[in-house]
A and B are shown apart, each in its own frame.
Chain A
């Protein structure tokens, strides 16, 4: 059984991005030199390590494409014998079916998050109503007259 440390946490990083691949994200973590264990999978990464390091790594990876990279906790550490398919005689890992169903929905969720972000930035721009300055009014009149 892999060595278990109680203050360590594990996170799934699920990548549903057109510009970031799991391999890119893994390389980014290796470059960052955080003391974490990384396992590359078909859907993304599994990261295990001390809590602060894992949270920092996850935030760093999320910033690569924040609306298309999704994160959730995992109970078992990466490569744990109780969940590893190699020691269980093959077959899908428990919990994989639900993850696969959700991964299928992630492009639509990512697009919805993009739209939400765009809408918020438009609202911020047009949200504030304020009195029109005389200088601005003059510019508008001049622009209209010069047509």
Chain B
């Protein structure tokens, strides 16, 4: 959808963050969608999870060859999301950093890439009490409301005009 800001969330599979982003009218960039594209592809090249030799190559764009393969494998899914990012919400100290999203090196690299992208970022701590939860929701709501909800298309119009002017000069 063109009318929403694409918001990267960390942890990338968070239910609370994905729901809040969608609730306030934006599009969450989540790991689940990336996984769906892989595992529901009709032509399964490499069952059961369809990991092909192309995936490590995608990962190499974000991490060097001497980096552990787990990092590159994860970045093959997460990297394309970071490229689409227009805003980000990063939650510090999430309670369960284990399992598929538990690779701390990947998480560090992911956060570094998002921060160096220069998009608006909200960094909050994971709530541990009702008071914290109230602050957490208020901060996220204020941040999401401050993001543009409609793509005005001005940028694309400017780009379209320029070549026409150049042609006129010639």
Contacts and interface: CB of A to CB of B under 8 A. Distances in A.
Interface residues of A, number: 37
Interface stretch (B56-64, B129-137, B146-154): B129-137
A112 B134 contact: yes
Contacts of B138: 112, 116
Interface stretch (B41-49, B114-122, B162-170): B41-49
Given A108-B129, A112-B134, A98 B39 contact: no
Given A94-B100, A108-B130, A4 B35 contact: no
Q: At the interface, is chain B mostly helix, strand, loop or mixed? A: helix
Contacts, number: 102
Interface in B65-122: 95-96, 98-101
Q: At the interface, is chain A mostly helix, strand, loop or mixed? A: mixed
B22 interface: yes
B28 to A, nearest CB: 8
Contacts of A71: 18-19, 22
Interface string A81-105: 1100000000000110111011101
Given A102-B16, A105-B133, A95 B100 contact: yes
A10 B36 contact: yes
8 closest residue pairs by CB, A with B: A75-B35, A108-B133, A112-B137, A73-B32, A75-B36, A70-B19, A72-B18, A112-B134
Interface of B: 11, 13-16, 18-19, 22-23, 30-36, 38-42, 48-49, 95-96, 98-101, 127, 129-130, 132-134, 136-138, 141
